[in-house]
Amino acid sequence: MINEHETDRDPVARTRRAFAYKLFFQQGVLPFNASLNDYFLAVSAALRDRMQGLYINSMAALRESKSRIVCYFSAEFLMGPQLENNLLSLGLADEFARAAEESGLDLQQIIAHEEEPGLGNGGLGRLAACYLDSLATLEIPAIGYGIRYEFGMFDQAIDNGWQREMSDRWLQPGNPWEFKKPDFAVEVGFGGHTESWFDEAGRYRVRWTPGTVVKGIPYDTPIPGYRVHTVNTLRLWSAEAPKSFDFADFNVGDYFGAVEEKIHAENITKVLYPNDEQFQGKALRLRQQYFFVACSLRDMIRLHLLQHPNLDNFHEHFAVQLNDTHPAIAVPELLRLLIDLHGYDWERAWAITTATFHYTNHTLLPEALEKWPVHLLGDLLPRHLEIILEINSRFLDEVQSRFPEDADLPRRVSIIDETNDRSVRMAHLACVACQRINGVAALHTRLLMERTLADFHRIWTDKLVNITNGVTPRRWLLLSNPGLSELIGEVAGTGWPTDLDRLCELAPLAENADFRARWRAVKRANKERLAHTLQERTGVVLDPAALFDIQVKRIHEYKRQHLNVLHIITLYNRLRRDPGLEIVPRAFIFGGKAAPGYFLAKRIIRLINGVAEVVNNDPIVDGRLRVAFYPDFNVKNAHQVYPAADLSEQISTAGKEASGTGNMKFAMNGALTIGTLDGANVEIREAVGADNFFLFGLRVEEVEALWAAGYRPRTLYEENPELREAMDLIASGSFSGGDRDLFRPLVDNLLDHDPFLVLADYQAYVDCQQQVETAFRDPERWTAMAIRTVSRMGRFSSDRSIAEYCEQVWRVGPAPVPLRYEHMPREGVVFPWPGQPSET
């Protein structure tokens, strides 16, 4: 037993006691009947308590903040597991590890038990999570606002080579990180009708009477910065019916009608839409979007009115970043609140609104752009439709008067697309109403300026800016690659995780043979770790000495996993032709989910697994090629993947990948990139140097020229024997147990359409892979290239991205949190603030 006096002096003993307390009082168990989940919840709760002092102080500072607060509006936050990250940020990893050990617990096992909140699809949601980490670390007062989906991204299993989706029950084991805040619930309306009248002052007024009302309950998750006092908040909204039964309906006997309404309300935050870059015009999705931004704006107004008598200076108090157009309905909502509820006239309300919002565009794919049918939006949000139409008519008047010579301009930039079924173009709405618009990589922003948003760029020449994405080195180096982090620390000193440019100090060590050997040992250990996991999960045995060639990301035609597969089949055919051929052994590792309704993406997964089955088992190959599909790629699994890569596949069709962030994670962890000039690859290549990057493929301009000239993929197939052989092997049913129809749609699509130019880039890709092979044969050279790569990746820290947003977009600076309140209330300590229940 640990005695009390001892615990006061000894932090490890105090932490041990906290574990025991949580286990006993919170979980209600003793070690003899505690499950792993009990231990996880107890340890997490103990850690949460340690964060609480900082959190309380941060919230108090936020409430009284004189500097601007950044509100990051995002339908997705792909946070990843929290326990280990929070230990790292708070500097408590060693203390907790020792306390666990002395208590006979395995902290790594407890950490591994955590189910991640998969509240996002991929890059966009993960970017939001990296940005929250950087905002807190840079001590910027910020709130992330989003949706608390009951079911996040589906879990993926692979059955007979096919993806099977399983519902994600992340909340089932209990979520130790969130605080429910029912006191700050708000009500949100839907449907109904509007009425207008003229008030005493003769002003035009509108009243919206919604048909139904839903209650939004906030759940707060603390986001601690790395080794600072700031703990920001991620506030996610959950929908509930305002009352559990409608007694009026109940009394007339419509029990089911009453319950149905409750279910209808709660459905809003039930499930995340699993589509990545594919707009699906579902009413429920629009309800989700409106629901969370309406809740969030109401919450911000509440906070604002704690400090100010009115909303005149709302935009000085808050900067809102719209993460893509998913939250763009916030624009008419803020106007509505200002005009209809707070009595502002249009001009004033418009000035406040346009000074508040900023918009990040994340894609150039036309099929991803949100366009809500006017009738759908009008049914669900009648007042908002009126406001959107008013914004549009004022905007089009301005356009006409400023650009009278361009008669077609109003049609092109109109918020309303008048073709066929009229629809609201959310990107246009965001462009018109936001102060700044940003693209997520230099090339992407240039393409926005020159194409997708060219008209807007002409109308407002300084609205569009570029802010290249970044990733947090805390999670993606310190946490996931401790071995490499230690090496880096030896060279670059202790401050590098918050000053990633210091990685440049590694550069001279590329010439140092001892250092290279140590670097290789780290990589080797990481590869062994991944090989072990993959064997466990897939049965595929990988040789850690092989070249680990990895492509992990959502499965999408534009990302061209099938180009990668064609290369594998090409190597396979070469070995079949000449079994004695000298090749570098390679392990091809794939991971990623396909949208459940994306037919071709699902066939691509089936193809990868079909090729794996054949190649892994063909004696001719003799282990020289191995293919593995890592099921259920998510943040947690990713921790092991990036550090283990030798080669990072970033092979999208030029002009299609807005930025990519996986490309940054791989390169930071010492993988070399094979890639096209697309998204942030362009900047990565500039940073690491052309000599350390395997470039191939058509450039954006060449892609366009090819389409203009008339692209005939079938001719390429006919004229390139190796390509033909690879395609024919797929068509022959060799990878589908003899079934010639299974991959027919994939093959026909490539031969007849090939919308993403897979065949056009095939030969260049295969040739470039040959250069990769040559380079890998010389381990000293390869390692030197890897070290140089890492040494130049500092720029891709999300701290740099956030610093740019602060300066160019939000105009905010750090506001360190003063520790004014008792850090850790102890028994007998009297709270130093007045004991009245208050507003926040």
User: Residue 557, interface with ligand NBG (CB under 6 A)?
Assistant: no
Residue number with CB closer to ligand NBG (216 or 697): 697
Q: Which stretch binds ligand NBG (CB under 6 A): 21-29, 121-129, 278-286, 783-791?
A: 121-129
Q: At its nearest, how many Å lie between ligand NBG and the CB of residue 20? A: 43
Edge-first strand order for the sheet with 672-675 is 625-630, 586-591, 547-552, 647-650, 672-675, 693-695
660 binds ligand NBG (CB under 6 A): yes
Q: Which is nearer to ligand NBG, 86 or 659 (CB)?
A: 659
Segment lying near ligand NBG (by CB under 6 A), choices 118-126, 190-198, 605-613, 781-789: 118-126
Phi, psi of 205 (to 5 degrees): -125, 150
# residues contacting ligand NBG (CB under 6 A): 18
Helical H segments across 235-282, by residue range: 247-251, 255-266
For residues 149 and 270, the answer to whether their CB atoms sit within 8 Å is yes
Stretch that binds ligand NBG, among 102-110, 120-128, 159-167, 430-438 (CB under 6 A): 120-128
> Taking CB under 6 A as the rule, does residue 658 contact ligand NBG?
yes
Find all residues with CB under 8 Å of 462, minimum gap 6, and list them: none
Catalytic (active-site) positions? 362, 553-554, 559, 661, 665
Query: Given the complex with ligand NBG, which of 364 and 757 has the nearer CB atom?
Result: 364
**Which H/E stretch holds residue 439?**
strand 436-439
**In the complex, residue closest to ligand NBG by CB:** 123
Min dist. Cβ of residue 662 to ligand NBG (A): 8
Q: Select the residue interacting with ligand NBG from 217, 349, 440, 787 (CB under 6 A).
A: 440
Nearer to ligand NBG, 640 or 661 (CB): 661
In this structure, the chain runs to a length of 840
Residue 422's contacts (CB-CB under 8 Å, 6 or more residues apart) are: 373, 374, 375, 416
Q: How far apart are CA 144 and CA 245, in angstroms?
A: 32
Closest CA relative to residue 472, chosen from 498, 439, 435, 440: 498
228 lies in the site for ligand NBG, by CB under 6 A: no
Q: Binding pattern to ligand NBG, positions 669-688, x when CB under 6 A?
A: ----------x---------
Q: Report the distance separating Cα 755 and Cα 749, nearest Å.
A: 8
Site string for ligand NBG, 244-283 (x = CB under 6 A): --------------------------------xx------
Site string for ligand NBG, 276-295 (x = CB under 6 A): xx------------------
Span interacting with ligand NBG, options 85-93, 135-143, 154-162, 655-663, rule CB under 6 A: 655-663
CB of 648 to ligand NBG, least distance (A): 14
Note every long-range contact of 767-772, with CB atoms under 8 Å and residues 24 or more positions apart, other chains counting.
767/696, 768/674, 768/694, 768/695, 768/696, 769/567, 769/674, 769/694, 771/694, 772/547, 772/549, 772/647, 772/672, 772/674, 772/694
Cα–chain-centroid distance for residue 728? 38
What residues are paired with 72 via a beta bridge? 144, 321
Our finding on whether 127 is near ligand NBG (CB under 6 A) is yes
What angle do the packed helices 513-538 and 779-791 form, to 10 degrees?
A: 90
Q: Which is nearer to ligand NBG, 632 or 678 (CB)?
A: 678
Q: Cα–Cα distances in Å, from 631 out to 467, 525, 781? A: 33, 22, 33
Q: Which two tokens stand for residue 829?
A: 């300590």
**Residue 639, both tokens:** 């921790």
Instruction: Bin 831: left if φ > 0, else alpha if -120 < ψ < 50, else beta.
Output: beta
* Least distance between ligand NBG and beta carbon 124 (Å): 4
Instruction: Enumerate residues 6+ apart whose C-beta is below 8 A from 634.
Output: 80, 116, 118, 153
Given the structure tokens 């230099």, which residue do they identify?
Answer: 442
Instruction: Please identify, among the stretches 471-479, 485-493, 651-659, 772-780, the one whose residues bind ligand NBG according to the rule CB under 6 A.
Output: 651-659
DSSP code, position 116 = P
C-beta neighbour count of 838 within 10 angstroms: 9
Segment 583-602, which members bind ligand NBG (CB under 6 A)?
none
Among 123, 210, 327, 470, binds ligand NBG (CB under 6 A): 123
Residue closer to ligand NBG by CB (options 217, 594) is 594
Report in angstroms how near the CB of residue 559 gets to ligand NBG at its nearest: 9
Q: Which is nearer to ligand NBG, 317 or 685 (CB)?
A: 685
CB of 341 to ligand NBG, least distance (A): 33
| In the complex, minimum distance from the CB of residue 76 to ligand NBG, in angstroms, rounded to a whole number | 8
Residue 653 or residue 791: which is nearer to ligand NBG going by CB? 653
Read out DSSP for 559-573?
Answer: GTHHHHHHHHHHHHH
Would you state the structure tokens that stand for residue 747, as one six-digit string?
């093959």
Closest to 629 measured CA to CA, from 598, 648, 604: 604
What the block records as the tokens of 378 is: 């009008």
Q: How many CA atoms lie within 13 A of 492 on its CB side?
A: 24
Q: How far is the CB of 684 from ligand NBG (least distance, A)?
A: 12
d(CA 770, CA 786): 18
Q: C-beta of 279: minimal distance to ligand NBG in Å? A: 10
3-class DSSP string for 161-176? CEEEEECCCCCCCCCC
Contact status: 659 vs ligand NBG (CB under 6 A): yes
The residues, any chain, with a CB within 8 Å of residue 149's CB and separated by 6 or more, are 119, 269, 270, 271, 272
**Alpha carbon of residue 16 to chain centroid:** 35
| Contact stretch for ligand NBG (CB under 6 A) within 117-125, 313-321, 486-494, 527-535 | 117-125
Q: Closest CB to ligand NBG among 594 and 726? A: 594
Residue 119 touching ligand NBG (CB under 6 A)? no
661 binds ligand NBG (CB under 6 A): yes
Window 464 to 523, contacts with ligand NBG (CB under 6 A) = 469
**24: DSSP letter:** I
Tell whether residue 368 is a contact of ligand NBG (CB under 6 A). Answer: yes
Minimum separation from the CB atom of position 658 to ligand NBG (A): 4
Segment interacting with ligand NBG (CB under 6 A) among 373-381, 652-660, 683-691, 763-771: 652-660
Within 13 Å and on the Cβ side, how many CA atoms surround 309? 0
Report the residue number, 299 or 657, with the smaller CB distance to ligand NBG. Answer: 657
Inter-residue contact 696 to 765 (CB < 8 Å): yes
363 binds ligand NBG per the rule CB under 6 A = yes
Residue span binding ligand NBG (CB under 6 A) among the ranges 179-187, 454-462, 658-666, 756-764: 658-666
151: DSSP letter: B
- Exactly one of 114, 657, 754, 799 binds ligand NBG (CB under 6 A); that residue is 657
Stretch that binds ligand NBG, among 132-140, 361-369, 578-586, 728-736 (CB under 6 A): 361-369
Q: Least distance (Å) from ligand NBG to the CB of residue 440?
A: 4
- Percent helix, strand, coil in the chain, to 5, is 50, 15, 35
Q: How far is the CB of 368 from ligand NBG (least distance, A)?
A: 5
CB of 427 or CB of 750, closer to ligand NBG: 427
Helix (H, G, I), strand (E, B) or coil at 270: coil
> Of 269 and 801, which CB lies nearer to ligand NBG in the complex structure?
801
Strand partners, 208: 194
| Interatomic CA distance for residues 554 and 576, integer angstroms | 31
Identify the DSSP state of 79.
-
Shorter beta-carbon distance to ligand NBG: residue 667 or 747: 667
124 binds ligand NBG (CB under 6 A): yes
Work out how close the CB of 322 gets to ligand NBG at its nearest, in angstroms, rounded to a whole number.
13
List residues binding ligand NBG (CB under 6 A): 122-124, 127, 276-277, 324, 362-363, 368, 440, 469, 657-661, 679
